[in-house]
Amino acid sequence: MTVAYERLHANLKALKLPTVESIVDSYLESTSAKGRSVIEVLDYLVDQEAKARQTSIAESRMRLARFPARKAIEDFDFEFQPSVDKTVVRELATLRFIHNAENVLLLGPAGVGKTHLAIALGLVAAKAGLSVYFSTVFDAMNRLKKAEQRGTFDIAMRSLVQPRLLILDEIGYLPMDREGAHLFFRVVSDRYEKGSMILTSNKTFAEWGEVLGDPVMASAVLDRLLHHSTVVHIKGESYRLRERRRMIGQRGGASLPVERKRVKGEGEK
Ligand code: ADP
Ligand code: MG
């Protein structure tokens, strides 16, 4: 018995089954194990190990993704933003688009929820154990430029090409220089039909020529991006402005400066 007991624990450690190793003794002594068949006991223990492993993979995926905030689809008010089709977002949340290496483009003015939806879909993917990377396009291109100077370009490029889902936020808020536009084209080309991207932009596709500083490059980028894609045009009011107006309405005009400060201090951006 002692030999078996010790060998069991040693093997559980060696085989890297830490959850089973830590719960097996107490579980076998517990009332819930009594009256269960051997198969049921084994199933319970192995299932606990599998669940713990899934949770730890999901947590590390979420950390590696570098989301700027946690946003969920359930927290998105679809009634406030009727231009966003709930069915389309639900379909995207099945992650089929990632398995098919398709892209998602979220377009619309500031504050309508583009980043919110991009993060929310990214979180669903990370929780499902897929590798995700989130960055503003500006930061991602700057990192590539710096890596090029340091001679680590390939490593930096791999970090943008390898994840199953790459989210590039805020295309068009800042114009790209020639090198930035060229690097952006390379990322899009390297991922084409291999890995999904979610892109957000406050500019229409017609304006991307200006954003990239080169209409020919912009049409080559859009050609690849849109080949297999879902485009969500979000029209309507900024959610932040709505929130601010609501607060002003509730408290009366006299409290306006205080409310302004509070909204600004929310730290969403
Ligand atoms: P955008 O990226 O389009 O500028 P954000 O996604 O950053 O806008 O949204 C601004 C803020 O408003 C965020 O805190 C976001 O969570 C919230 N928000 C935007 N739209 C909605 C919505 N329809 N329901 C709930 N929260 C929303
Ligand atoms: Mg945004």
**CATH number, domain at 167?**
3.40.50.300
The residue whose CA is least distant from atom 5 of ligand 1 is 113
| Confidence at residue 260, expressed as pLDDT on a 0 to 100 scale | 39
| Confidence at residue 52, expressed as pLDDT on a 0 to 100 scale | 97
Measured from the Cα of 117, ligand 1's closest atom is: 6
| Confidence at residue 197, expressed as pLDDT on a 0 to 100 scale | 98
Structure tokens at 68: 């700027």
Measured from the Cα of 113, ligand 1's closest atom is: 6
| Confidence at residue 250, expressed as pLDDT on a 0 to 100 scale | 66
| Confidence at residue 31, expressed as pLDDT on a 0 to 100 scale | 87
In a domain, 265, yes or no: no
Taking the centre of ligand 2 as the mean of its atom positions, its distance from the CA of residue 216, in whole angstroms, is 26
Taking the centre of ligand 1 as the mean of its atom positions, its distance from the CA of residue 56, in whole angstroms, is 29
Structure tokens at 138: 């500006």
172 plus 197 within the same structural domain: yes
Percent of the chain with pLDDT over 70: 92
The domain in which residue 36 lies consists of: 2-64
Q: Which ligand is nearest to the CA of 268?
A: 1
In a domain, 24, yes or no: yes
In a domain, 162, yes or no: yes
- The three-point CA angle 192-196-199 to 5° equals 100
177 plus 92 within the same structural domain: yes
| Confidence at residue 268, expressed as pLDDT on a 0 to 100 scale | 42
3-state DSSP helix/strand/coil % of the chain, to nearest 5: 60, 10, 30
Measured from the Cα of 76, ligand 1's closest atom is: 24
* Closest C-alpha to 116, from 57, 74, 63, 161: 74
Q: Which ligand is nearest to the CA of 232?
A: 1
* Residues with C-beta less than 6 Å from any ligand 1 atom: 71, 75-77, 80-81, 108, 110-116, 239-240, 268
State the pTM of this model: 0.85
Q: Which ligand is nearest to the CA of 106?
A: 1
229 plus 103 within the same structural domain: yes
Measured from the Cα of 81, ligand 1's closest atom is: 23
| Confidence at residue 264, expressed as pLDDT on a 0 to 100 scale | 38
- Counting as low any pLDDT under 70, the low residues of the chain are 1, 250-269
